[in-house]
Amino acid sequence: MRAARLIKMVLLLQSRAGMTAAELARELEVSERTVTRDAQALSEAGVPVYADRGRAGGYRLVGGYRTRLTGLARGEAEALFLSGVPGALREMGLEDAASAARLKVSAALLPSLSDASRAAAQRFHLDAPSWFTEPKTPELLPAVADAVWDDRRVVARYRRGDAEVERELEPYGLVLKAGVWYLCARVAGRDSFRVYRIDRFTAIDPAGADERFVRQEDFDLPAFWQERAGQFARSILRAEVVVRLSPDGARRLPYAVDPTAAREALERAGTPEDGDGWLTVTLPVESEEVAHAQLAGLGPDVEVLAPESLRARFTSDTLRLAALYGT
């Protein structure tokens, strides 16, 4: 414990011109008296820690004591500090490790690059969750993350509909999508990969003390997720509707329904059919009920042509609106 604290103290002093005893005590979560003893121990061990006396005094390193990553350019250093997502690291239980890593990098950088962390933080912040949602960290996420890092098989129980299913999984990677955590894993003994929502897991147990799996070296997590996400988006579009759209309706369509499906449908529609610029579009949708809710937002800029049952829904809506607001 003390050895780790002494190393952190050296790194803190390397990353800054100097720190007071109070600042070091706060960072190290110890008393100022402990800071004094630790500084003396470092000095006796040959680390040139110098104590400035007085009200404005503190501790600093002298004699150019520093390990430098001289190969890093400014852009590379700033990109390095952008590589972590603080909220995600915290949810996986890796916040302390990430903080220690950033501190080590900060301490090793050349003085001219010492502000790279602050410069990156001032210019970029990733807010992963969707609007109007209250993201919840899955209780079992840290256990799943540990298994991913260790390439360790786990026995997972998860909810599937009204039932619970148990599988032995080889956890390959984690994905945070719009505030929801997913596990990309392979069922032990099979070749195919699957995606599981971690908030549906009810139990995670190691398959064995030394039950590690051999990772498939050519597995590409970003590419796998992109392909699987595209398959999922297409799989839920099981119905079709035919609509006429005004120019404004065509412009707003990608914001009302699945954007990719909307753009492809508009491209297939070709050129406007009349002088007013209206287009007839065949659009894949999740269901008639979902299409009704989505297309209603386009108001008078959309006319449903088929199916007849969906057109009847809009006819009913129109009559009710006319009765409500007057003809």
Residue 299, pLDDT above cutoff 80: yes
Query: With bands split at pLDDT 50, 70 and 90, how would you rate the model's confidence at 204?
Result: very high
Residue 155: strand pairing partners: 168, 205
Q: How far is CA 123 from CA 78, 127, 129, 242, 271, in A?
A: 10, 13, 19, 45, 43
In one-letter notation, the amino acid at residue 281 is: V
Mean pLDDT of 292-301: 94
**Does the structure show a pLDDT above 70 at 232?**
yes
The mean pLDDT value for 249-257 works out to 93
- % residues pLDDT > 90 (the chain): 31
Residue 129: C-alpha distances to residues 126, 136, 184, 226, 239 (Å):
9, 10, 19, 18, 29
pLDDT band for position 269 (cuts 50, 70, 90) = confident
Per-residue pLDDT tens for 150-181? Answer: 889 999 999 988 889 999 999 999 888 878 88
Check pLDDT > 60 for residue 226. Answer: yes
Q: Residue 164: what pLDDT?
A: 92
pTM equals: 0.57
Percent of the chain residues topping a pLDDT of 70 = 76
**Residue tagged 């993201």 (tokens):** 135
pLDDT in tens, 10-29: 888 887 778 898 899 998 88
Which has the higher per-residue pLDDT, 203 or 48?
203
Per residue in 56-110, pLDDT tens? 678 888 866 765 544 555 665 555 555 556 666 666 666 666 666 666 666 666 6
Task: Please give the mean pLDDT across all residues of the chain.
Answer: 82
Q: Distance between CA atoms of 149 and 172, rounded to whole angstroms? A: 9
Q: Band the pLDDT of 274: cuts 50, 70, 90.
A: confident
Q: How far apart, in whole angstroms, are the C-alpha atoms of residue 93 and residue 144?
A: 10
Nearest alpha carbon to residue 103 among 200, 14, 226: 14
